[in-house]
Chains A and B, each alone.
Chain A
């Protein structure tokens, strides 16, 4: 299946495929809108309209006492000087820098192993490693939260069995890593499948050629497979960047177990949520969301540009 065929994926990552016009069926016409139209109509309703409304909100300020006033860009200025916002951003950046590479690396290794044809029980591996993706984040976090327990949880059991004194995975030093573990668990299979699908469509002729040249497995991987699925890697990275910057479900659920190490501004999304829902600060919350959206887009764009440059 070509769901992430390398070339197209790479182009999709670029935002707009180029050089395909020769293959496109019709000349420039509005006909395509008959097909993209329904998607865009619903999209406008559930994404664009609320975003537009948020942008509108972001230039006002509302107070419990005193009502609403137009404040121009004051909310943006406030966000830039908001230490809580920056600490949240720093935290997800760290998360992004560590968790995403680890997760994608494992997913890639698994995909390569499956593709190598050297595994016993390949389809069992494939389906089993994909299964965690089927578990709702709510359920996944509750499960891991239980296992993290140092008294009656799995960590507690291990401590008891081996006479160890492992620190609590929810302590302030480890809580981010523990969340990273849950996210990794949930999404290895998903990313693995993207890579694996891309690998399966690499033309056989390339392998044959390599065979003839006497290239070893490792050489085949570095010289053929990885370059061929770069597009898929770029796309998986972009979706992971977005996922990391929007980290919310896992910390918000774990917070009930560890209220002091997961603050209300633990991630930018949690901060925006808390401002809006606990603090009634819809205007400032909208501002934080818009700034985060811009930063996310910038980083996703950078990932994509970098991915493309390597390919050239």
Chain B
């Protein structure tokens, strides 16, 4: 892969100050001294604390009853440990609707994030490896469109979808999820690095079609990038809130975010039961699968990241 860097004028090597010699003299290890620093670790510990404290709050409060929630110190456990009971109640409340929302969310993520990743990979590949009419305009148009506040587009989008008979169906959530401008950008940069042009050329000389070249030759090279984009689109789809709010009226099609909001709002309706403890437990259950996905996919990132670092 070093071909790329070498072939490109204006790469990092050239733009860094000339006084550093850029020749390779020794095995790569030297540059990375692994002297551990306690002071630096402690400093980063502050950022870590900042990142995790609210999640700790969520965890602690998911173990409390509705009563304990209102009457105990927020950052520590209450006498009653009600986590299992809360989870059971969350799963069974209102005829087990939470599980239905969970399944919906999974459906939206599989089709929405999966589709978004697929489109972004195709598009990024095109931007990186093809010269086609209008290529320069594509990214400018995408960025420009993203700059328009989405909330103001909600009503026009709703009316259009309504004309097409898509509102109140899963498609109303899935189709808009298929666009990930950031994913497109990531794949563009990744594909231009990861796919040597020579490989494509030789595949073509062997008589492979463009589709075959892409799927059999290029796609495997893109795997680490695909995992990263998948991760970002998964988060975006999993956390999608505003669009489903406009598009869906039937709670049977709600994703988790909308369902939790409905539960939260329930406390503010006359005759409605206040179930903050279930909202909090439900929130915890909502983010757990994402955290699990992060940990699981971390292996791929790491391989992706290290693949980058041994590149030279």
Which of A113, A147, A208, A213 has most chain B Cβ within 10 Å? A208
A140 proximal to B (CB < 8 A): yes
User: Which of A118, A129, A206, A248 lies in contact with B48, CB distance below 8 A?
Assistant: A129
**Which residues of B, 205-258, contact A by the 8 Å Cβ criterion?**
210-211, 214, 224-225, 228, 235, 238-239, 241-242, 257
Q: Smallest distance from the beta carbon of A253 to chain B beta carbons, Å?
A: 9
CB distance from A5 to the nearest CB of B (A): 5
Mask: chain A, 2-44; 1 = CB below 8 Å from B; 0 = not: 1111111100100111011111111111111111101110110
Query: B302 at interface (Cβ–Cβ under 8 A)?
Result: yes
A45-78 near B? 1/0 per residue, CB < 8 Å: 1111111011001000000000000000000000
Contact B20 A23 (CB under 8 A): no
User: Are A131 and B55 CB-contacts (below 8 A) given A35-B214, A204-B309, A273-B151?
Assistant: yes
Segment touching B, from A79-87, A94-102, A172-180, A281-289: A281-289
B248 to chain A, nearest CB (A): 15
Q: Would A35 and B21 count as touching, CB distance under 8 A?
A: no
Partner of A15, one of B119, B140, B197, B224: B140
> Contacts A32-B126, A189-B51 hold; do A205 and B283 have CB atoms under 8 A apart?
no
A3 CA / B187 CA spacing, docked (Å): 7
Number of interface residues of B (CB under 8 A): 135
Bound-state CA distance A32–B197 (Å) is 15
Which segment of A163-171, A221-229, A258-266 sits at the interface?
A: A221-229
Contact among B9, B133, B182 with A28 in the assembled complex (CB-CB below 8 Å)? B133
Closest to A290 in B: B148
> Which residue of chain A is the closest to B227 with respect to CB atoms?
A1
Give the Cβ gap from A135 to chain B, nearest Cβ, in Å. 5
Query: What is the bound-complex CA distance between A23 and B139, given in angstroms?
Result: 19
List of A residues within 8 angstroms of B146 by Cβ: 47, 242
Q: Do A228 and B309 touch across chains, with their CB atoms under 8 A apart? A: no
Partner of B36, one of A48, A119, A285: A119
A215 (CB) vs chain B CBs: closest residue: B20
Contact of B131 among A29, A224, A239, A285 (CB under 8 A): A29
Total residue contacts A-B, CB cutoff 8 A: 394
Q: Are B55 and A47 in contact (CB under 8 A)?
A: no
The residues of A that contact B290 with a CB separation of less than 8 Å are: 134
- Docked Cα-Cα span, A21 to B141, in Å, equals 21
CB neighbours (8 Å) of A305 from chain B are none
B54 CB contact (under 8 Å) in A29, A138, A185, A215: A185
Q: Chain A residue with minimal CB distance to B157?
A: A50
Give every chain B residue within 8 A of A288 (Cβ-Cβ). Answer: 152
A120-B41, A200-B309 are known contacts. Are A136 and B241 too (CB-CB below 8 A)?
yes
Given the interface pairs A28-B131, A224-B16, the reply to whether A138 lies near B155 with Cβ below 8 Å is no
Q: Is the interface of B mostly helix, strand, loop or mixed?
A: helix
Report Cα–Cα, A128/B52, bound state, in Å: 7
- Determine the residue in chain B with the shortest Cβ distance to A269: B149
Is B235 a contact of A133 with CB atoms below 8 Å?
yes
Q: How far is the CA of A194 from the CA of B160 in the complex (A)?
A: 36
**Inter-chain contact B197/A23, CB cutoff 8 Å:** yes
Residue contact A134 to B160, C-beta cutoff 8 Å: no
Check: A157 CB closer than 8 A to any chain B CB: yes
Once A1-B225, A38-B122 are accepted as A-B contacts, the answer to whether A7 and B11 lie under 8 Å apart by CB is yes
Point out the residue from B57, B179, B194, B312 that lies within 8 Å of A39, measured CB to CB: B179
Cβ of A268 < 8 Å from any Cβ of B?
yes
CB of A309 to closest CB in B, whole Å: 13
Chain A residues with Cβ below 8 Å from B43 are 113
CA of A132 to CA of B210, assembled, Å:
40
Interface residues of B in 134-190 (CB under 8 A from A): 135-136, 138-157, 159-160, 175-176, 178-179, 182, 184-186, 188-190
Having A120-B41, A143-B54, one finds 20 other A-B pairs with CB under 8 Å, namely A8-B193, A12-B139, A16-B135, A23-B4, A25-B201, A31-B210, A36-B123, A46-B178, A113-B43, A120-B36, A136-B283, A137-B239, A139-B58, A204-B312, A210-B20, A211-B30, A242-B146, A249-B242, A285-B155, A290-B148
